[in-house]
A and B are shown apart, each in its own frame.
Chain A
Amino acid sequence: MIDSLYIGATGMNAQQLNVDTIANNLANVNTTGFKKNRVNFEDLLYRDAIKASAEEGVTTGALPIGSGARVGSSLKIFTLGDIKTTGNPTDVAIRGAGFFEIVLPDGSFAYTRNGAMQINKDGLLTTAEGHPLKNAPEIPPDATELVIQPDGKVLVSLPGQRERLEVGEIELATFINPSSLRAQGDGIFVVTPDTAAPTYAKPGEDGTGALAQTFLESSNVKLIEELIGLVVAQRAYEINSKVVQASDEMMGMANNLRR
């Protein structure tokens, strides 16, 4: 009997995590390159209770009694966000799949969709936090114009020269299972042991999206979807709390059998 109390509690806990996830999604509705999380519920272990069977003296098989629910996984959903124009020449969006590969201060690689870039003091293209792109093209300090072509080639215009100079190329990394990447905050994803090795491609080839300069990708959070999810989560939480209350009342009745 106490089971139903705990089962109700597992339901409430699971919905609580759901609400937390929705709250995080909503908080990041305007974050460039943010990818929403989705929670997956699973039903919990079925424990076997002894079965009283209809045949004389035979206990056949077992009663599979479930133990509630839990959040099995919370995965990032990598659908595309809307691409919005900013007019800023160092802003780049990926019109499709793929990640920019960046170098973290400790030398390890990380991945991001956030293309709001800057040029640091060494002339390298970096993210807004200052992490440079891997094999970042070096922009000469006297460049007057920066052009990032949809196929990844980076060109600059130098004073006194009519032709643009190619200074480098941006490659994109793709994964067969991007949902296994771990979000580290600041729009940065790192690989986990479950992630397959990335494959590199020029933007626009091999399933990656082309680059779009002066555009930024907004988050893929859909307000209506999240709000409906919030309503459902709240009601599911409430119904599980009713189960807890009912179990409690029943236990109270059992306790009061003898007045």
Chain B
Amino acid sequence: MADALTAAASIMNTDMERMNIIAHNLANTGTVGYKRQMSLAVPFTERMNVLGGNRVNPFFAMPLNTVGPVTDFSSGPVRYTGNPLDIAIPSPNAFFEIQTEQGSAYTRRGTFQVDPQGRLVTDQGHVVVGETGDIVLRSPQPVIDAKGQIFEQGQLIGSLRVVSITNPETMDAGSGGLFLPGDKTQVDAAKNVPVRQGFVEMPNLSSVQEMVRLMETMRHFEAAQKIVQGYDDMMDKALRKIGEF
């Protein structure tokens, strides 16, 4: 009997986690280079079968049937801004390489700036890696062609390093649009990946889809609530009626 209650509690916890993911997606509808997250679930019976074992999630004391948020790396729509330091990569599975304190990171967030030393940096100040090292600019309005080559007043001064990652799902998401490579991430030099100057890549999420999932999650949650209430009623009847003397 305890199974029904545990199952319902588990459903509700899982739905709360889903809500967090949906909320994070919707909060970031305007964030350049954001990739939407989806919640990945495994069959519930797998989880339930090990109730009480050491696979119970200590946080919630109930097994969840979600494996966790998974990032969807499909391309988002590309929007024109006209800013010479905004760069977008329209095709999927290709990233800019960024130098951080933890080593190389990869991003699709092409809202670049120039730091006081003239280097091309992300808007958090991390240096953008070029094919021949740091990219040092003398003016904030370079011309960047589709191959990522950077020209200032007609002279080639560097080239953006664009990498192609065929298994981006092995990367960990960091804040500010950065993705940190994992052990199994395969990073290759990109071949024939065009970049567009003056454009930014908007998130690959659809408000409609997220709203539908939100409603679905809420109703699912409500259904679990009904299970608990129904179970409560049953126990109530069992205790009162059957236990009547």
Interface residues of A (CB under 8 A from B): 1, 3-5, 7-8, 10-11, 14-15, 18, 38, 40-46, 49-54, 56-57, 63-69, 72-73, 75, 77-79, 97, 174-180, 194-196, 207, 232-233, 235-236, 239-240, 242-243, 246-247, 249-250, 253-254, 256-259
Contact = CB atoms under 8 A, between A and B. Distances in A.
A207 B139 contact: yes
Interface in B125-178: 137-141, 153, 172-177
18 contacts: A4-B23, A7-B20, A11-B29, A41-B32, A43-B24, A45-B175, A50-B57, A57-B54, A65-B69, A69-B28, A196-B114, A207-B141, A233-B30, A239-B26, A242-B211, A250-B218, A254-B12, A257-B225
Contact of A8 (B27, B31, B58, B67): B27
B116 A196 contact: yes
The secondary-structure label for the interface of chain A is mixed
A259 B229 contact: yes
A175 B141 CA distance: 11
Contact of B56 (A51, A52, A69, A236): A52
A38 B31 CA distance: 12
Interface residues of B, number: 71
Contacts of B105: none
Contact of B31 (A43, A65, A177): A43
Interface string B36-48: 0100001000110
Interface string B1-16: 0000000000010011
B140 to A, nearest CB: 6
Given A14-B27, A15-B30, A40 B111 contact: yes
B56 to A, nearest CB: 7
A1 B27 contact: no
Contacts, number: 197
A175 B19 CA distance: 46
Q: For A14, A43, A176, A250, which residue has the most chain B Cβ atoms within 10 angstroms?
A: A43
Given A50-B58, A69-B28, A253 B221 contact: yes
Contacts of B217: 246
A154 to B, nearest CB: 26
A173 B229 CA distance: 72
B59 interface: yes
B76 to A, nearest CB: 13
Given A52-B56, A249-B218, A66 B30 contact: no
Contacts of A196: 114-118
A154 B53 CA distance: 86
Contact of B42 (A54, A236, A247, A256): A54
